C-alpha cells in the first residue's frame, strides 16, 4: 500500500482565521522540527508544499525539510483568500507560480509538484502549471463534500464526480481525465476528507474513514493521500473572530462555524493524534513515498 503524506506549509493562523507573521515563525521554528522528528521516527518520506511567501521569510526551514530527504513542493506564493487560484486568470496564475517556484528553486533546486492554496484551482491552472514546468498537482479531493463550510464550495461540488485514482488533468475540466501533462494525485476522501482537520475534530471518524480507504486501496491500488498542516501543531492561545467573506451565509459557515470546528485539538494534542494515526498504519506495512516519486513510478 502506497501512502503519500503531504504537508501544506503556510502562515495561516487557525485561531486568528488569517495569515499571521507570528504563526509563520512558530510554524517554521517550532512545529516543523516536531513534525520532521515524528516522520523520521516512522521513516516517512513526505511532500511539503511551501508558499513562496513563507519560504522567502524562512529559507532555512525549506532547506531543513529538503535535508531530511523530503520533497519540497509549491503551494503558490500567497495563501490569502483573495489570491485563491480559482479567482485568478491565466496570466495572474503564471506570475504567482513563477515567483513562488523561483523562490523555492533558489533554495533546493527544481520544484515540480504543486498544491493550490485551499485546494482552489480552475482550468487556467492546468496551462499555467505547464507553462511554469510543473509536473504534478494534488489539489483535487475526490468525493469530498464540504457543503458551505469551505470557500469556493460551489465549484468544489465537482469533487463528487471527479476520478478517485490518479489521472492526467483535462484542459476542459480539471475534474475529468484528459491529455494534459499535469498528473493529478487526489487527496483521499469519502464525503469527509482524510486530513489533519478531521483527525482533530474526530479521531474515531478518521479511523473509520481510514479503514474504508485502506480497503479501497487494496482493491484498486489507489494510494492513500493524507493532508496535514504544521500550523495544526500551533496551540490556540488567542481566538479572534474575523470575516473573510462578504456573503453572510458563507461567512457564517466558512468563517464562524468552520473556525470553531478547526480549533479543536490544536498544538500538542494534534501531535499525539498524528503519532497515533501513523502508528495504527504500521500493521499494513505502508510504503511511504513523496508525490514526485509516485508519479515517476506510474
The DSSP string of 201-254 is: H-HHHHHHHHHHHHHHHHHH-PPEEEEE-GGGGS--S--------SSHHHIIII
Hey, what domains does the chain have and what are their CATH numbers? 2-297 (3.20.20.370)
Average pLDDT over residues 101-116: 98
Q: What is the pLDDT of residue 162?
A: 94
Average pLDDT over residues 214-230: 93
- The pTM assigned to this predicted structure is 0.92
Has residue 144 got a pLDDT over 50? Answer: yes
19-37 pLDDT per residue, tens = 889 999 999 999 999 999 9
The residue with greater pLDDT, 244 or 237, is 237
Q: Is the dihedral of CA 137, 141, 143, 145 positive or negative?
A: negative
Q: What is the pLDDT of residue 295?
A: 95
Which one, of 251, 220, 273, 5, lies nearest residue 115 by Cα?
A: 5
Has residue 248 got a pLDDT over 60? Answer: no
Torsion (CA) 230, 232, 235, 240 in degrees, nearest 10: 120
Q: What is the pLDDT of residue 262?
A: 76
Cβ proximity of 229 and 4 under 8 Å: no
Q: Where are the beta strands (DSSP E) in the chain?
A: 2-9, 12-13, 18-19, 46-50, 71-74, 113-114, 136-137, 167-168, 183-184, 189-190, 192-193, 224-228, 287-288
- 153: which 3 cell numbers? 464550495
Has residue 149 got a pLDDT over 60? Answer: no
* Mean pLDDT lowest among 43-57, 126-140, 230-244: 230-244
Amino acid at each position: 500500500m502506497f501512502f503519500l503524506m503531504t504537508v501544506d506549509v503556510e502562515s495561516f493562523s487557525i485561531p486568528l482565521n488569517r495569515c499571521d507573521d507570528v504563526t509563520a515563525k512558530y510554524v517554521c521554528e517550532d512545529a516543523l522540527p516536531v513534525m520532521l522528528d515524528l516522520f523520521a521516527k516512522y521513516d516517512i518520506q513526505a511532500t511539503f508544499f511551501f508558499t513562496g511567501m513563507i519560504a522567502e521569510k524562512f529559507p532555512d526551514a525549506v532547506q531543513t525539510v529538503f535535508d531530511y530527504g523530503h520533497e519540497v513542493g509549491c503551494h503558490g506564493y500567497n495563501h490569502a483568500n483573495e489570491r485563491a487560484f480559482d479567482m485568478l486568470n491565466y496570466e495572474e496564475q503564471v506570475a504567482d507560480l513563477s515567483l513562488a517556484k523561483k523562490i523555492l528553486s533558489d533554495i533546493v533546486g527544481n520544484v515540480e509538484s504543486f498544491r493550490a492554496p485551499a485546494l482552489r484551482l480552475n482550468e487556467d491552472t492546468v496551462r499555467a502549471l505547464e507553462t511554469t514546468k510543473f509536473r504534478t498537482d494534488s489539489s483535487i479531493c475526490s468525493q469530498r463534500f464540504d457543503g458551505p463550510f469551505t470557500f469556493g464550495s460551489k465549484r468544489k461540488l465537482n469533487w463528487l464526480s471527479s476520478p478517485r485514482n490518479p489521472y492526467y488533468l483535462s484542459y476542459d475540466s480539471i475534474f475529468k481525465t484528459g491529455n494534459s501533462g499535469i498528473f493529478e494525485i487526489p487527496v483521499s476522501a469519502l464525503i469527509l476528507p482524510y486530513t489533519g482537520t478531521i483527525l482533530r475534530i474526530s479521531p474515531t471518524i478518521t479511523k473509520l474513514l481510514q479503514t474504508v480507504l485502506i480497503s479501497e486501496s487494496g482493491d484498486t491500488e489507489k494510494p492513500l493521500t493524507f493532508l496535514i498542516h504544521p500550523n495544526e501543531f500551533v496551540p490556540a492561545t488567542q481566538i479572534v473572530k474575523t470575516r473573510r467573506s462578504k456573503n453572510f451565509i458563507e461567512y457564517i459557515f466558512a468563517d464562524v462555524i468552520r473556525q470553531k470546528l478547526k480549533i479543536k485539538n490544536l498544538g500538542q494534542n494534534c501531535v499525539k493524534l498524528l503519532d497515533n494515526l501513523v502508528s495504527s498504519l504500521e500493521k499494513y506495512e505502508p510504503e511511504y513515498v513523496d508525490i514526485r516519486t509516485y508519479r515517476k513510478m506510474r
